[in-house]
């Protein structure tokens, strides 16, 4: 074997390894961006905020872990930083975000340095401008890092990886990042804190600040923003001047070529990067193919509830007596269903469902339309269960055939169960009590009423559903001695709906609980604890649960 042949093979292998690493990095970055694009970030932040707010001292720790993971995965951290101000307040919020963002900066830096640095170093040697910038950061990097952290020129998540490709030492990078990210952290946390106070005040909540306190809060915010903007402008000018000097120096300096130590064999980091790229790409492909599943990770999307319809004299009525008869025969007073008996009457259920197809839906008045949609949703759910018996839970039905299956006819329309609830009911009726009327065929759901809803009795029926849920431990319990309220997760999933009507989840629940109402009036704010949601089928055989 000739020496020249061995060198040629090594060069060829190094070239292919470099191509694999470069392609892998592109795939990883692209996969992260695709996956992040499918995530319901806004609902995730809201769900995280609601959760950590009830966790006491452990809350900031959990919040910080999620913050680090989000930053490493290129998910924008600004929403989380704002949320920290609302959840933890100024001091704890700043400390939590500062430690979390610094940890994220360290993790991303180390990933970039030990997985990609060697490849970048080889490329930098052939580009004098990049070589000069890299050299400048390596020699006086803390100053450059400080200026870049103060200036928005480089996004936080990308910058963390980019700095790992330079020659700067880890500790100078980390210390500079920590100190000079503080102004932006304080500003965003302050904004989140003020926004939370404003929303609480506007909703008639528990802010209770005097005009003087509000004045100090606003002045402090304006001062923080002004100082941050001023420092950012100074940093931008200094950075521009510094980079100009570095580039000019880089273009003028020519270093003698030095041969890097010879490497033998296929580099392990190329294999590792390729494996990571395949895993990340698979995850991104799954996220794209299951957008509805990903979208539902943190509950349904928030909506602005409005009253889109009105009562119209002389508007048509729809006869629900066939459905009413089935419910009276096969559903008990606590909402449990005799599915075996209902199956024997399936033709009657199908007859009612067929009648829904011929309904003059668009012409129905407000109450008639809402009663119609609730009954239709519940009838379709019963038919869905019958189609898939025997099952132990509605969740045993494949996702594509469950709430997202577009198969249910209403007048001239064909909708899925999710479309009926989230597109036809919630945005068009300012009525969060529907969450205690729509039934998902589970023990943890509010009871299925053993009568059909009607426009004439709709208010009475919705009020009764709400009362029933708040007088049974499965959905509500208030422990005054522990100052804790136990709520169905319906309040967690649809918190925004209840807040739009009552100002807060607790205030809405208090409408059905005099003891909770009294506690809130006395200034006590109970901790919210979420009750387990039992997804077992609401079959009469499970009525003892």
Q: 481 with 357, same domain? A: yes
Q: 445 with 508, same domain? A: yes
Q: Give the position of tokens 């694999």.
A: 20
Instruction: Name the percent of the chain lying above pLDDT 90.
Output: 43
Q: 241 with 321, same domain? A: no
DSSP states along 28-81: HHHHHHHHHHHS-HHHHHHHHHHHHTTSTTHHHHHHHHHHHHHHHTT--SHHHH
For residue 14, is it within any domain?
no
**Minimum mean pLDDT among 17-31, 126-140, 269-283: which range?**
126-140
pLDDT at residue 160, as a whole number: 81
Domain count for the chain: 2
Q: 190 with 325, same domain? A: no
Structural domain harbouring 134: 53-255
Query: Is the bond preceding 390 in cis, omega lying within 30 degrees of 0?
Result: yes
* Four-CA torsion 245, 246, 248, 251, nearest 10 degrees: 170
pLDDT tens per residue across span 172-205: 889 988 998 888 888 888 877 776 655 444 333 3
Report the relative pairing of strands 413-415 and 484-487 from DSSP bridges: unpaired
Give the Å distances, CA to CA, from 473 to 477, 488, 541: 5, 9, 20
Q: 202 with 340, same domain? A: no
Q: 163 with 232, same domain? A: yes
pLDDT tens per residue across span 324-339: 999 999 999 999 999 9
- d(C-alpha 428, C-alpha 485), whole Å: 30
Report the relative pairing of strands 413-415 and 476-479 from DSSP bridges: unpaired
Give mean pLDDT, residues 369-395: 97
Radius of gyration over every alpha carbon of the chain, rounded to an integer in angstroms: 30
H-helix or E-strand containing 508? Answer: helix 505-510
| Whether residue 514 has pLDDT greater than 80 | yes
Q: 341 with 200, same domain? A: no
Which residues touch 8 (CB under 8 Å, ≥6 apart)?
none
For residue 275, is it within any domain?
no
Structure tokens at 430: 């300012």
Q: What phi and psi, each to the nearest 5 degrees, are found at residue 472?
A: -130, 135
When pLDDT is cut at 50, 70 and 90, the band that residue 434 belongs to is very high
pLDDT at residue 274, as a whole number: 81
For residue 480, is it within any domain?
yes
| Whether residue 263 has pLDDT greater than 80 | no
For residue 215, is it within any domain?
yes
Structure tokens at 36: 């992040």
pLDDT at residue 206, as a whole number: 40
pLDDT at residue 252, as a whole number: 39
- d(C-alpha 519, C-alpha 481), whole Å: 11
Q: 249 with 325, same domain? A: no
For residue 498, is it within any domain?
yes
- d(C-alpha 248, C-alpha 433), whole Å: 68
Structure tokens at 182: 């503080």
- d(C-alpha 78, C-alpha 185), whole Å: 9
Q: 189 with 336, same domain? A: no
| Whether residue 437 has pLDDT greater than 70 | yes
* DSSP tag of 153: T
Contact between residue 356 and residue 420 where contact means Cβ atoms under 8 Å apart: no
Give mean pLDDT, residues 345-361: 96
pLDDT at residue 535, as a whole number: 95
pLDDT tens per residue across span 140-183: 567 777 777 776 556 677 778 878 877 788 998 899 889 988 88
Query: 176: helix, coil or strand?
Result: helix
- d(C-alpha 404, C-alpha 534), whole Å: 21
For residue 295, is it within any domain?
no
Q: 311 with 231, same domain? A: no
Long-range contacts of 61-67 (CB under 8 A, 24+ apart): 63/87, 63/88, 63/96, 63/100, 64/96, 64/99, 64/100, 64/103, 65/100, 67/96, 67/97, 67/100, 67/101, 67/104
Structure tokens at 231: 């420092």
pTM beyond cutoff 0.75: no
Report the relative pairing of strands 484-487 and 476-479 from DSSP bridges: antiparallel
């Amino acid at each position: 074997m000739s020496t020249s042949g061995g060198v040629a093979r090594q060069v060829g292998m190094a070239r292919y390894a470099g191509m694999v690493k470069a392609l892998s990095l592109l795939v990883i970055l692209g996969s992260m961006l695709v996956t992040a694009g499918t995530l319901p970030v806004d609902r995730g932040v809201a769900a995280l905020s609601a959760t950590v707010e009830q966790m006491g001292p452990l809350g900031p720790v959990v919040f910080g872990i999620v913050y680090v993971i989000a930053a490493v995965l290129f998910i924008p951290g600004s929403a989380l930083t704002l949320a920290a101000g609302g959840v933890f307040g100024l001091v704890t919020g700043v400390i939590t975000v500062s430690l979390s963002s610094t940890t994220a900066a360290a993790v991303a830096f180390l990933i970039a340095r030990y997985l990609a640095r060697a490849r970048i170093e080889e490329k930098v040697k052939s580009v004098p401008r990049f070589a000069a910038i890299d050299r400048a950061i390596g020699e006086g990097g803390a100053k450059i890092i400080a200026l870049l952290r103060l200036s928005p020129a480089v996004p936080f998540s990308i910058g963390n990886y980019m700095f790992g490709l330079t020659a700067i030492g880890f500790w100078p990078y980390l210390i500079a990042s920590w100190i000079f990210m503080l102004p932006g952290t304080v500003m965003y946390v302050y904004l989140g804190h003020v926004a939370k106070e404003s929303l609480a005040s506007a909703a008639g909540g528990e802010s209770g600040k005097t005009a003087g306190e509000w004045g100090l809060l606003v002045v402090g915010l304006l001062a923080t923003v002004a100082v941050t903007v001023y420092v950012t402008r100074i940093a931008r000018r200094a950075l521009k001047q510094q980079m100009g000097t570095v580039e000019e120096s880089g273009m003028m300096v020519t270093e003698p070529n030095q041969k890097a130590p010879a490497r033998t064999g296929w580099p392990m980091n190329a294999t590792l990067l390729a494996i990571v790229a395949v895993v990340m790409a698979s995850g991104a492909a799954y996220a794209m193919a299951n957008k509805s599943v990903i979208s539902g990770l943190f509950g349904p999307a928030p909506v602005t509830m409005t009253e889109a319809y009105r009562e119209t004299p002389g508007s048509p009525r729809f006869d629900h007596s066939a459905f009413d008869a089935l419910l009276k025969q096969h559903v008990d007073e606590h909402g449990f269903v005799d599915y075996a008996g209902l199956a024997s009457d399936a033709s009657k259920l199908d007859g009612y469902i067929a009648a829904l197809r011929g309904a003059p839906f668009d012409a129905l008045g407000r109450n008639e339309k809402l009663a119609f949609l609730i009954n239709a949703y519940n009838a379709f759910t019963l038919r869905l269960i019958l189609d898939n018996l025997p099952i132990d839970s509605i969740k045993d039905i494949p996702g594509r055939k469950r709430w997202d299956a577009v198969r249910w006819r209403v007048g001239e329309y064909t909708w899925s169960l999710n479309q009926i609830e989230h597109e036809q009911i919630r945005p068009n009726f300012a009525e969060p009590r529907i969450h205690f009327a729509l039934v998902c065929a589970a023990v943890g759901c509010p009871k299925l009423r053993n009568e059909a809803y009607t426009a004439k009795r709709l208010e009475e029926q919705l009020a009764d559903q709400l009362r029933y849920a708040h007088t049974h431990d499965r959905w509500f319990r208030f422990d005054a001695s522990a100052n804790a309220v136990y709520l169905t997760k319906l309040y967690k999933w649809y918190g925004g709906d209840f807040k739009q009507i009552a100002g807060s989840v607790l205030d809405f629940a208090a409408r059905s609980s005099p003891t909770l109402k009294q506690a809130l009036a006395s200034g006590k704010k109970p901790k919210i604890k979420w009750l387990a949601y039992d997804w077992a089928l609401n079959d009469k055989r499970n009525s003892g649960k």
